[in-house]
Structures are given as C-alpha cells and as structure tokens.
A and B are shown apart, each in its own frame.
Chain A
Amino acid sequence: MTQAKGPPASPGPQSWSQYNLPDAQGHFGQFGGRFVAETLMHALDELEAVYRERMADEAFQAQFKEELRSYVGRPTPLYHAERLSTELGGAQVYMKREDLNHTGAHKVNSALGQALLAKHMGKRRIIAETGAGQHGVASATVAARLGLECVVYMGEEDVRRQSPNVYRMKLLGATVVPVTSGSRTLKDAMNEAMRDWVTNVDHTHYIIGTVAGPHPYPMIVRDFQSVIGEETRAQCLDTLGRLPDTLVACVGGGSNALGLFYPFIRDESVRLVGVEAGGYGIASGQHAAPLSAGVPGVLHGNRTYLMEDEDGQIIATHSVSAGLDYPGVGPEHAFLKDAQRAEYVAVTDDDALAAFHHVTRKEGIIPALETSHAFAWILEHAPKLPKDHVIVVNLSGRGDKDIFTIAEREGISL
C-alpha cells in the first residue's frame, strides 16, 4: 500500500453465498460505520437494539406485513412489458411496480417500518429529509396514519422544483421546513435534519430515506426495502420458473436498488446494474454519480463514495431528477462496486428524459424521472441481449410529480 489514505481497503472478493454484511460495527468492508457527533451515539445504539429485538418479534413482523398489505397495497405486481420488449427486439423486460404503492413510490416501505419502530421506542415525533419529496410524502403519510408529529426538511431549491409534493405533505399535517444553507438541496436537508435530531433526540426519531447514514440506518432501510426483491424473487420463480438474469435500478442514495438487489446478492448468476444520474455527462463534472466518478470519504455518518473536491469539500451535484441529486450513496453500494458484485453506470439527463417519454408512450406507465434513468439503460442494452434474457427493472416511482419539471424543460406552460 502507498500513502495510507485513512482506513484499510475492502477485503478481497468473498464467497457470495455467505454474504452477511454489515459487521457488528456497521461496516461493509471499508465502507459504512458510524461517524456522528457523540450526542447521537446512544440514540443509534438504542435504535439498533430496538430494531434487532423487533426483527425477532413475530408480532411486530406480522404487524408490518399486514400494514404493507392493507395500507400500502403490497405485493406489487411484476409486469411483463411485452410491447417494449418486442420493440427492443432483445431481452424480456419486466417491471416491478413499486409505483403502485400507496404514495406512489417505494419510499413508503421503509418509512412505514421506521415509523412503527418509532412507536415502539415511544418517540412521538418523526423528522425526515427529502429531495424529490417522495420520502417526505411517505413519512408524512405514515405519521398521519400512526398519529405522530412530523417535520420534513427540504432544500429551498427542491421546495421550488417539487411544489406539488410540498403541498401534499402540508395536507397530511406535516411541517415542511425549507433549508437555506449550503446548496439548498438534499444534502443540506440531511444536515439540518441531523441538527434537529441532535437537539430533540429524546423524543424524536429520524426517518432517513435511503440506505445511507450512520449504522444501523443502511441496514434497517435495506431490510425494510428488501420486500421488493423478496417479492420479485418469488414472482420470478412462480411465473418464469427461474431467477431473472439482470436486475436494473436507479441509484441516488440507493434504497430502491438495494431493496431489489439484496435478496439476490447471494445468487451470483444474477447481474446487478445500478444507474446513477449522469446529469450533463460525467465529463462535464455536472452530475450526481459518486460511484461512477467519486472517491471514498466520510459524510452524513458513513464512509462511502462521495463527490468532493481535492480538499474534501462536498461539491454541488446536478441531476434533472431531484431524488438522485445527492453527492453520496449508500455504503453497501460502495462495497458491492469495489467487490465487483454489482456494476454502476451513469445516464445523462437527456437520455433519462428520452426514456421517460418512450416508456410512457409504449407502456402507458408514467415513470418517475429517477426511474427513467434505469429505463435509459434498458433502451440501450436490452436490444443486444438474447430474447430469453430476463431483465427486471425496479419501477421505483410514478412520474406524476415530475410532469411540471418536464413541461417546463420542454417550454410548455400548464
């Protein structure tokens, strides 16, 4: 090893059939961990203890399952996009319809699980950060459902970009706090949520929206989102009689991708593809693709790939999609990249928008701009794959929230 750049590198490739991370300290190889102010350490210990207790508690599991069924609307369908598949002339494209969840995206799976944990911990107030507003809406929704006070932090820039979701959260009884520090986007909303949590830690649970943050968050959010991959696995075995060949999902923080990937990590035959936001292109520097073009560093409680400058300052990101506009990524994705179990690519704003229109017209499904990044990869790669190759894409959210952004970009006034 040359100059020690902090901690040791990830261990070498392992036997994937034994995959069982994170370790007791919340590490995924060199990534993950718990890098927060001392004041929060106890709350994280408590959260981890309660979480482990509840995961082993059949009554809690039954309650979570029933809420997912009757309130969220699970299981979501696995839909064969036949027209799209035929047109592309290659792989068969299946869509895991997370857009059909209550609130219109996968975010509710984890928000619901965490809100139930908060209740069990006796916390009466929840806080959340949000970018596109989907996680904020999901948190506000489950807070209303469970009678919890809810405060959502949202960058001032995103409040402007996603005004329908802001109104939705207010209708649900949440307080939306516009964040005016830093770049006024998702990362700054997360900073502000951490500041709130450190101040109100006694009675507040912080519902982190993605598989990032200090341990145990990446593990908890992954586990709650794994219902996506578990259902997909069962549905594939049921209807196809076999596992899929390729899984594709967009990656911002990476919760929808990991929710789909995780139950397949041990199946090495299944190819895992995460699609990051390439913005104006990686070469432009104006993107939100830390796995494609970032370096390991520490932010928001974990060590992971980050977009930063040569002094370690976090740099401004760009994506047409507010939900992917984040300079970090979940630590387990960082590990899966380095261990070469998953591959990560970037798709530009323009290609994502083209895919948005393509899928909308071809399948009668309006995907979220975030999800459209995953479709862009499919439009390019499915034609080159054999006809019996099965791709499952996580249709992580619906695009109704994005129609204003798209209209504005295309010069249409609604």
Chain B
Amino acid sequence: MSRLETRFAARKAAGQKALVTYLVAGDPEPQATLPALRALAAGGADVIELGVPFSDPEAEGPDIQAGCERALRHAVKLRDVLAMAKAFRQEDQDTALVLMGYLNSVERMGYETFAEAAAEAGIDGLILVNLPPEEADALQRCLAPRDIDLIFLLAPTTTEARARAILERATGFVYYVSLKGTTGAGHIDAEDVAARLAPLRTMTDLPIAIGFGIRDGDTAQRMAPLGDGVVVGSAIVRRMGSLSLEEQPAALEAFARSLREALDASC
C-alpha cells in the first residue's frame, strides 16, 4: 500500500479526516523549508504538498504567487526542492509527500529524469495544476512504475462525463477544487460543494480531498464532513511570508494542530 493510501485509510478507519497542507519549497528562504515540514508533520498533517516555485503560477492567488516570488529570489530549483524532500524523507517515513506545481518545471528536467529523482527522494505523488489527464499519458507512464501517483483535480465546472473519464485514471487521491477561482479565494460555499461531491462519490473509491479557500479551523470544520480530507495552503504560505525564520516552526505546528483539532471535532 502506498503512503498516500495508508494515511487516508488510517484516518478513515479511525473515523477521522485527513489533513493535507501546502507550502512553497524554499519560501521565504531555502533553510526555512525542512523545519516547516517537520512542524507540519508534528502538528498532525497527513500529507504535505511541497510547492515547486514557478515564475508564472497562473492558477494561484496572491499569497502563493508571493511565496513563489520569495523562493525564486533565492533561485530555488526543482533539484533543490527534491533535495529538501529527500532530507525530510530520511527522518520521516510516515508523512506522505506530494510535489505540486506547473508542468514546465517537470518538462524541462525531462519526464524520466524527474520520475527517477522523485522516486529517490521518497515522493509519493505529483499534482500539476496545468496538466489535464488528456495530456498526461507520457508522464504517467514514467511515474507509474515508480509508484508515484499522478493526482488529478476536479472542479465545480467539470461535467459528469469528464469526471468519469478523469476518475478512471486517477490514483492516490482526488483533489476537488471547491470553487471557481484561484488558490486562497474567499468564497467557498459548503452547500455547493456538498451538491457537487455527491455524484462524484458514487464514481470512485479513492479518497477525495477538498481544497481552495480553506483557511482556518472554521472552514476546515465546515468542509470536512463532505470529503475525506481538506487542503490548506495559502493560509500557511501567508504565515511563512510574515514570520521570521525562528517563529515559523512553532507557529506552523500550532496552526496545523488547530486544523487537526477542528477536523476531529467535525466528526
């Protein structure tokens, strides 16, 4: 069983929801990332999405755009991100680690080279915001033999026929984009999410994580009953951008713990 499956399954068995957290690798500086990963894991994150900074993050809201720009000021490269992941994996074999970013980073490195390096770094999954399943065959062929899940997104605008086709090839978990907008947007609507998730539930046995617009314990608690987990990103990146290197780990751990408690209170 892969690490992603194990974590989601364990939470489900315990009647709990999974906590998925996101941060930009190398934000606001490269040495901040390893302590931040440890802190999120200590606070109860089941899955950590490690954002690969990109110059043109077209699906991101202002917080994650700023995080990318901070990391790129330190010229953080995909190879550096993989090295950070590897360092974390050497001390933590339980927390699932997913790289999240844009296709061009992976294309430039080359699919095979990337898949090999990601496997060696102990990466469990990959989310590429601008890679729809239609264009994903070649990459998935490189990732599958290394047990790296290519994780697809579903959106409020995804039609039922399209959702079926996507879910047929989805692995790891399904990322449900809760709203029409960019990451960190403020207009998440629980009723709308519930209505749209209901039919998806009947189409897949994979865990569904809900993301975009979940910013605190309150929104996490409202969304949690609708899926198998929630994703919190911009709210973490905002903290990384405003706190000093010394303050970040404790603040992140406390924030993750507050989310964990909110999720547990929702069940």
Contacts and interface: CB of A to CB of B under 8 A. Distances in A.
A38 B111 contact: no
A195 B162 CA distance: 22
Interface residues of A, number: 45
A35 B131 contact: yes
A50 to B, nearest CB: 16
A39 interface: yes
A39 B104 contact: no
B181 A42 contact: no
Interface in B128-143: 129-132, 134-135, 138-139, 142
Interface string A134-148: 000000000000000
Given A7-B138, A35-B130, A198 B182 contact: yes
A238 interface: no
Contacts of B103: 35, 298
A313 B177 CA distance: 25
A43 B56 contact: no
Contacts of A38: 132, 152-155, 157-158, 166, 177
B93 to A, nearest CB: 29
Contacts of A187: 56
Contact of A311 (B105, B155, B162): B105
Which of A8, A25, A39, A41 has its CB near the most chain B CB atoms (within 10 A)?
A: A39
Given A35-B132, A39-B156, A201-B157, A297 B104 contact: yes
Interface in A182-228: 182, 187-188, 190-191, 194-195, 198-202
A191 B159 CA distance: 25
Nearest to B159: A42
A41 B162 CA distance: 9
Interface string B218-256: 000000000000000000000000000000000000000
A5 B158 contact: no
Contacts of B105: 311-312
B78 A311 contact: yes
A4 interface: yes
A413 interface: no
A38 B133 CA distance: 9
Nearest to A35: B130
A6 B138 contact: yes
Contacts of B162: 41-42
Contacts of B142: 4
B129 A199 contact: no
Interface in A282-317: 296-301, 306, 308, 310-315
B168 to A, nearest CB: 15
A34 interface: yes
B61 to A, nearest CB: 8
Contacts of A5: 107, 110-111
A194 B111 CA distance: 26
A39 B132 contact: no
A41 B158 contact: yes
Contact of A34 (B56, B134, B153, B177): B134
Contacts of A86: none
A308 B182 contact: no
A43 B157 contact: yes
A37 B130 contact: yes
Contacts of A310: 108
B19 interface: no
A25 B134 contact: yes
B132 A34 contact: yes
Contact of A300 (B58, B131, B138): B58
Contacts of B152: 38
Given A39-B157, A299-B104, A195 B182 contact: yes
A187 B56 CA distance: 8
A313 B72 contact: yes
B107 A297 contact: yes
A36 interface: yes
A153 to B, nearest CB: 12
A311 B110 contact: no
B234 to A, nearest CB: 13
Contacts of B113: 3
Contacts of B109: 312
A3 B72 CA distance: 27
A52 B192 CA distance: 32
A39 B180 contact: yes
A33 interface: yes
Given A33-B134, A200-B180, A297-B104, 16 more contacts: A4-B138, A5-B107, A34-B134, A35-B131, A36-B130, A38-B154, A38-B157, A39-B177, A181-B65, A191-B56, A195-B58, A195-B61, A199-B182, A201-B180, A297-B107, A298-B130
Interface of A: 3-8, 25, 33-43, 181-182, 187-188, 190-191, 194-195, 198-202, 296-301, 306, 308, 310-315
12 contacts: A3-B112, A3-B113, A6-B107, A6-B139, A38-B153, A39-B157, A188-B56, A195-B59, A198-B59, A199-B180, A297-B104, A301-B130
- 4 shortest interchain CB distances as A-B pairs: A312-B108, A39-B155, A313-B55, A199-B181
